[in-house]
Chain A
Amino acid sequence: MIASSDDIIIKTIARIFVPFIQLYALYVIMHGHYSPGGGFQGGVILGASMALLLITHGYDEVKRRLPEGVVMLLGSVGVLIYAGIGLTCLLLGGNYLDYSQLSVILHVDPAHARSLGILGVELGVGFTVMAIMYSIFFDISTGGILPGDEKRNEELENNG
């Protein structure tokens, strides 16, 4: 179990750094089609910022800011955005993820619709990757046992 660090330098540096890391992750997601990066890489950076917060501020603080239910919800919503944009293109008569079909809904020319469509898909991928990275890190660091889950802890102790 990860407890809160009592070192003021580490805590202050993490508190100052985390917003900038998240801003940078959003930049990587938004510039995915001009420069190296994109949804997955930006999502990993977002997940790394949450991992930094979990290492320095401990489990209780992070649970108050981002409960596990919300994390799983974010992951599912990301998949929903991705599949939803793909299926919308399919319903409008194109191929799966053929963004130029979105120009009918968005009232812009097809080239602009392609740019907006790929941005939406990358946002969805970023959400999902962030949620799953955070969840994996969380499960590894706690060994799958939550602090409030005392019944399960007792069971494990009785079974050795």
Chain B
Amino acid sequence: MNEFFVAVGLGLCILVFLVLYRVIFGPGVFNRIAAISAIGTKTLIILLVLGYVYNRVDMFIDISMVYALLNFIGCIAAAKYLEMER
């Protein structure tokens, strides 16, 4: 079962790098914002999967909650930036 979670985590890491391409070269602001929030969601899942690998999910849930929180604040900041651009 442990190998399964490691494989899922590695697959998600590779997907993060694919999305990172959109963040760097993506045309326009909207593609970048969508890609950044996708990376945030993937990181959250990677943290929880790591928690299962180390058998300490209760602690890793704390970190993933912080990550979700910072993601929310980043989303609002991006919306504010778009509002000021207009």
Question: Which A residues fall within an 8 A CB radius of B?
Answer: 2, 5, 10, 14, 17, 21, 24, 28, 31, 35-37, 41, 45, 48, 51-52, 55-56
A55-B76, A56-B76 known; A21 vs B69 contact (CB < 8 Å)? yes
Would you call A48 and B70 a contact (CB within 8 A)? yes
Measured CB to CB, the closest approach of chain B to A157, in angstroms, equals: 20
CB < 8 Å: which of A2, A21, A37, A48 contacts B62?
A37
User: In chain B, what residue has the closest Cβ to A41?
Assistant: B66
Cβ of B24 under 8 Å from chain A: no
Task: Tell me whether B80 and A48 are in contact (CB under 8 A).
Answer: no
B13 located at the interface, meaning its Cβ lies under 8 Å from any Cβ of chain A in the complex:
no
Determine the main DSSP class of B at the interface with A.
Answer: helix
Instruction: For chain B, residues 31 to 86, give those with C-beta under 8 angstroms from any C-beta of chain A.
Output: 59-60, 62-63, 65-66, 69-70, 72-73, 76-77, 79-80, 83
User: Chain A residue with minimal CB distance to B83?
Assistant: A5
User: 12 new A-B pairs (CB below 8 Å) besides A28-B66, A48-B69, A48-B70?
Assistant: A10-B76, A10-B79, A14-B76, A17-B72, A24-B69, A28-B62, A35-B62, A37-B62, A37-B63, A48-B73, A51-B77, A55-B80
CB<8 Å pairs between A and B, sample of 10: A10-B76, A24-B69, A28-B62, A28-B66, A31-B62, A35-B62, A36-B59, A36-B63, A41-B66, A45-B69
CA distance A21 to B79 in the complex (A): 20
Interface of chain A, main secondary structure: helix
**What B residues does A45 contact at CB under 8 A?**
66, 69
Candidates A17, A24, A37, A55; contact of B77 at CB < 8 Å: A55
**How long is the Cα–Cα vector from A152 to B70 in the complex, in angstroms?**
34
Cα A41 to Cα B69 in complex, Å, equals: 13
The distance in angstroms between the C-alpha atoms of A36 and B62, with both chains bound, is 8
What's the Cα separation between A2 and B77 when bound, in Å? 11
Across-interface contacts of B77 in A (CB, < 8 A) = 51, 55
For A14, list chain B residues within 8 Å (CB).
76
- Chain A nearest CB, measured from B86 CB (Å): 13
- The residue on A at minimum CB distance from B59 is A35
CA A55 to CA B60, docked complex, whole Å: 29
